[in-house]
């Protein structure tokens, strides 16, 4: 050693340069350096009821490959001076609960390349997520009542309305409270009990946008928690039972809705030339007398200034109706069955378009 006085040498074994890190030769520095550390076992939790996974305190629907990635990134410790790190991982399932994660890692520390292999055991534990806990407890915050105005809806129509909730759920974020607690038909409608007021309102807005009508909200206080009132929301949605062109009875006269507006509809009166706007609230009183889909077009066989005769397509007998105020000689009759009698209706823009097509 005396011959190297003043020169550089390994502090551990006295070897000649090159030296690395804290002035050690390559073999001494390699013995004392670890590129990566991983714990032997890492736990993760899956909801035993619905299968979603808890990662970082958040419950989410997660693919298995993403679980392993997440566990690796959370538990892998890497040397603080490591650079150019390359990682590879191969998961090997040992049992339902146990998966071995084989990890290959390489990286450069102080200009030396390190390559290591590690194994980490991912252990699954069963848990119950927040959503399932609340569901199991029949938790709910809101009831949406689907009803109709103007006409009783068929079961299929209610089913169709109900499916829009699935569309809304698909578009919204994965809020754990966005679940259905209970649902089913009730007299005159369909009720859906939900875990979240926000979901109830989002659905209500969707229904109004899609089908018109309006929602009415009622809040009920059911108790107090942490000094705050706990309330439940009842959201009543009435789908207008009438479509554009239907014949409705409203305020002692017959009308046909011709256009929806933001607040309601524009109605055209049947017995004279008159149109008016009405709000949804006004229209709560409207009742459907004949749906447009059930109206018929018939040629008049005889007509004078006020009455037309036509062949009733159901009975093949001659019937007569008062001609509508807008009738022009030779035009077909648009007829609807009202209280056991035929009624001829004035044409709306909609009827003319259909005639032209």
Instruction: Note the residues at the interface with Zn ion (CB under 5 A).
Output: 10, 12-13, 15, 25, 28, 47, 49-50, 129, 132
Distance of closest approach, residue 20 Cβ to Zn ion, in angstroms: 10
Distance of closest approach, residue 41 Cβ to Zn ion, in angstroms: 24
- Cβ(202)–Cβ(232) under 8 Å? no
Distance of closest approach, residue 174 Cβ to Zn ion, in angstroms: 12
- Cβ(308)–Cβ(300) under 8 Å? yes
DSSP for 257-289, written as a single string: EEEE-SSEEEEEESSSS-EEEEEHHHHTT-EEE
- Count Cβ atoms below 10 Å from residue 100 Cβ, excluding itself: 14
* DSSP H stretches of helix in 46-154: 64-75, 130-136
Q: Where are the beta strands (DSSP E) in 94-139?
A: 98-109, 112-127
Distance of closest approach, residue 11 Cβ to Zn ion, in angstroms: 8
Distance of closest approach, residue 243 Cβ to Zn ion, in angstroms: 41
CA–CA distance, 189 with 187 (Å, rounded to integer) = 6
Residue given tokens 């949406």 in the structure block: 144
Measured from the CB atom, the residue of 47 and 348 that comes closer to Zn ion is 47
**Going by C-beta distance under 8 Å and a sequence separation of 6 or more, which residues neighbour residue 325?**
271, 272, 273, 346
Residue given tokens 């390489």 in the structure block: 106
- Cβ(8)–Cβ(2) under 8 Å? no
Distance of closest approach, residue 263 Cβ to Zn ion, in angstroms: 42
Measured from the CB atom, the residue of 24 and 200 that comes closer to Zn ion is 24
């Amino acid at each position: 050693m005396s011959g190297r006085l003043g020169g550089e040498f390994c502090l551990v074994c006295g070897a000649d340069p090159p030296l690395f890190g804290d002035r050690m030769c390559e073999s001494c520095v390699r013995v004392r350096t670890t590129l990566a550390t991983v714990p032997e076992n890492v736990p993760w939790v899956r909801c035993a009821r619905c299968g979603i996974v808890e990662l970082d305190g958040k419950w989410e629907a997660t693919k298995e490959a993403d679980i392993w990635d997440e566990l690796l990134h959370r538990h892998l410790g890497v040397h603080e001076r490591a650079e150019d790190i390359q990682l590879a991982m191969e998961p090997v399932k040992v049992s339902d609960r146990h998966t071995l994660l084989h990890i290959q890692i390489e990286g450069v520390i102080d200009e030396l390349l390190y390559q290591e292999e590690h194994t980490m055991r991912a252990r699954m534990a069963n848990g119950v997520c927040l959503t399932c806990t609340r569901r199991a407890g029949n938790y709910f915050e809101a009831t949406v009542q689907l009803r109709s105005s103007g006409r009783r809806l068929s079961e299929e129509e209610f089913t169709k309305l109900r499916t829009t909730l699935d569309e809304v759920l698909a578009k919204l974020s994965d809020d754990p409270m966005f679940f259905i607690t209970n649902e089913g038909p009730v007299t005159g409608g369909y009720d859906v009990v939900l875990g979240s007021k926000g979901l109830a309102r989002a659905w209500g807005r969707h229904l109004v946008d899609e089908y018109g009508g309006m929602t009415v909200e009622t809040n009920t206080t059911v108790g107090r928690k942490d000094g705050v009132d706990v309330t439940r929301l009842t959201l009543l949605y009435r789908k207008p039972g009438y479509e554009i062109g239907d014949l409705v009875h409203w305020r002692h006269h017959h009308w046909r809705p011709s256009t929806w507006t933001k607040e309601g509809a524009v109605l055209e009166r049947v017995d004279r030339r008159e149109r008016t706007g009405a709000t949804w609230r006004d229209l709560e009183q409207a009742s459907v007398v004949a749906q447009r889909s059930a109206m018929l077009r018939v040629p008049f066989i005889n007509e004078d200034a006020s009455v037309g005769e036509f062949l009733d397509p159901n009975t093949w007998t001659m019937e007569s109706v008062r001609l509508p105020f807008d009738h022009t000689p030779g035009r077909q009759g648009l007829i609807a069955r009202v209280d056991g009698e035929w009624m001829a209706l004035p044409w709306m823009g909609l009827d003319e378009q259909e005639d032209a097509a």
